[in-house]
Structure 1
Amino acid sequence: MLDTLLMALGLMLILEGLLPMISPRSWRSLFVQMLQLEEGQIRFFGLLMVVFGLLVIWLLA
């Protein structure tokens, strides 16, 4: 189980690193836009990501 968790973490890091590696200017622009969001909007976006991740895991399990 630990191996699976570490592989999932590694895949997440690869996916998270693609945009700054391929297009650092777009990545920076995205960060500037995110900094202008209200806390509630950021929390809602985080909630959507968690729900989507759980849905993917549920569908694949």
Structure 2
Amino acid sequence: MQDFLTGLAFFLIIEGLVYALAPRFLVGMAKLLPSIPEWQLRAFGLAAAALGVGGVWLLRG
């Protein structure tokens, strides 16, 4: 459980830095998202999740 909470804390740190350091970029990306096909967003999300799982597996293995 401690590892999960640590990961969540790191996620919040990174997310907060994006909002603090590049808010215009974030707004531009939010405006762009509706024009991207759903299958492409889903594929990117699955690829990112797979990379994350692979990274955790390598680091914790």
TM-score by length of 2: 0.87
Aligned residues: 60
How far does residue 35 in structure 1 lie from its aligned partner after superposition? 2.0
Runs of 4+ with >3 A deviation: none
List alignment gaps of at least 5 residues for structure 1.
Answer: none
Task: Quote the Cα distance in structure 1 between the aligned partners of 2:32 and 2:22.
Answer: 16
Identical columns (%): 32
Aligned residue runs from structure 1 range 1-61, under 5 A: 2-61=1-60
Task: Quote the Cα distance in structure 2 between the aligned partners of 1:28 and 1:4.
Answer: 31
Per-residue CA shift, 1:2-55, capped at 9, x if unaligned?
A: 111101111011112211110111110011112211110110011011011011
TM-score by length of 1: 0.87
- RMSD between superposed Cα atoms in Å: 1.0
Task: Quote the Cα distance in structure 2 between the aligned partners of 1:10 and 1:18.
Answer: 12
List alignment gaps of at least 5 residues for structure 2.
Answer: none
